[in-house]
Structure 1
C-alpha cells in the first residue's frame, strides 16, 4: 500500500472514529501536549486522564510548573510511577521559563531537554505546532511492525532504525497532527497488543501480519530475562501522638525526591539505626512480606510496624526526616506501595483496635 493511500485511509478513519475528547486534545498547546506525552509514557490513557486534569488545574502554565517546589510536583505525580519523568518535567519547565516561556521548534532542540526523546519531540511539534514530524511510541511501533511484518524485538537498535524509517516514510506533509493522533489511536483502540480488532482496521488490506497470520506473534517480545530480586526492610514507626516517621529520598534514583519510610538492607541495620537515634521500640511487629516490581528488578520488602514513646526531634537532618500526622500522608508525594502500606495500617479502625 503506497504511503499516500495509507495516510488517506488512516485519516478518513480518524475523522469518523478517532478520539477527539481527551483532555489534552482541548485547548491544544505545546505545554499541554508535552505534559500529556510525558504522562502517557509507560501509562495507559485511562490512568492518565485524572492525573492530567489535576496537574493542569494546579500548574496551568509552564511558568506555574517552573515556579512550583519539586515536592508539590511529585505530590501531584504520586501514583503514576517512573518518578524521573516528574523530576525531568520540572527541570525542563524551569529551562523553558528561563528562556521566556518559548518552546523549541525543532526536534533536535526539544530532544536536548531533560526527559524528552525524539518521539516525544515529534509528537509535540506535530500535534501542537503542525509540523510534519515522525513519532515512534509503543502504539506506532506495533502498527508498523504488523503492517510490514517486521520480525525482531522493536527495542533492538536495528529493528528500531527500520521502524523509524517507515514512520518517516508514512508521515504526511499535511495534517501531520491528526495523522500522529490517528496512529496512536489505531494502536490504542484497534491494533492492540492482545485481541486486536483486525476486522474493522482501516489499513487491513495492506497488513502483512494479517495476510501471513502473524498478528498474534508480532511484535516479537523482548528476550526473556529473569529480574533480579532486591530485599529491604521498611520501618513503619508511630509516636505517641500517632505521627509517622518519614524520610525524604535522595533527589535521584528510585523514588527520587519522594517521602518514604526509613529503609534498611537487613534487620540488624534497622535495629542499629533505632539505637543510634535513641528510639525505644514498643511492640515491634514483623508484617507479611510484600513485593513491588520495577521495570528492572523486584523489590521484596518486609514492613516492621512499631510504636515509640520518645521521639526527640520533630525535624531532623535539615528537614529530610519528619514526623507526619497520619492524615497528612494523602497530601505528600509518596511512592504508591508506601502510600498503600500506610493507608492499610494507619486507618481509624487500626487506631481504635490498637491505639
Structure 2
C-alpha cells in the first residue's frame, strides 16, 4: 500500500535540529517584553545568536517564510514540535524553544495585557459555545479584528488534543474568497459598517476601529480582510451589508482546509491571507476530566512594526 503523502503545510523539524535545540533550550533566556507588547530586541537578539549555529536552521526559516508569506500560497503552516518538547528538559524550556523559533520570522507579541505571552485556551464548558474557549463551533475569523493593526500572525500550539477526537482546525485563504465575490458584494464590504465585541486592555494593535470595513483595499502585505462570522450572529439577515458578509463567509467555507492538530502541533496563520476557525469538540466533554480536555496556547506575532499614525481611519 502506498503511504499517504504528508501535506505540504506540515513542517517537521529535522532530527539533528531537534537534538541540538533541545540541548540548548535551557540556555535560552526567558522572554522579556517592551512597552509595545513585543518581545524585546535584546531577547530576540540572544535567541538569534543561539539559533544561528544550529543545523538546518536556515532551511527551516526559509520553509516557514515560503508557506506563510507567498501571496499565491496557502498562508499558513503547521509546525510539528512534539519531538522537541519530548527532548527538552522541561515544558518551560520547550516553550522557550518554540518562542525562539517563531522569532526567526516574526516578533512575538502579547496583545492582551491581562494574559501572558502564551495565552491558554482551555475548554470551559460554562462559556457560550460560540466562543473559542467553549466546546462548540468557532466560526471563521481573524483575531483582534476590530483594531487598526491586527496581529500579522496568529499561532496556536496544541498542548492536548480533544480526547474525543474532534475539534478539527479550519483555515481558508481569504484573498481567494474575496476574488470569487461579485462586484456588488465586494464593494459593500469596503464600507465601514461592521462592529465586533469589546476593545480594552490591548497593546501593540493600535486603536479600536469602530465601525470598520471588511475590505480596507490595501495590498495583502499591509491590509487585512477584517472578517469574523461572530459579528453576524445577531445581525439583521435582510441588511445588504450583512448579506455581503454572508456571501464572503460562504466562499470561505467553500475554500476551507480541515485538519486535526496533534500534541505539539503549532498552527501559524498569516492574518493578511487567511481566516481560521474550529469545528465543535466531540460530545460528552462534561465527562472528560478538566485536566484532560483540549488545551491550546495562543501567541500573536508581528511581521513588522507599524505605527497608528501611518493610517487615517475614516468612520
TM-score by length of 1: 0.21
The structure showing larger relative contact order (alpha-carbon pairs under 8 Å, at least 6 residues apart) is 2
TM-score by length of 2: 0.23
More helix by share: 1
Higher Rg of the two aligned structures: 1
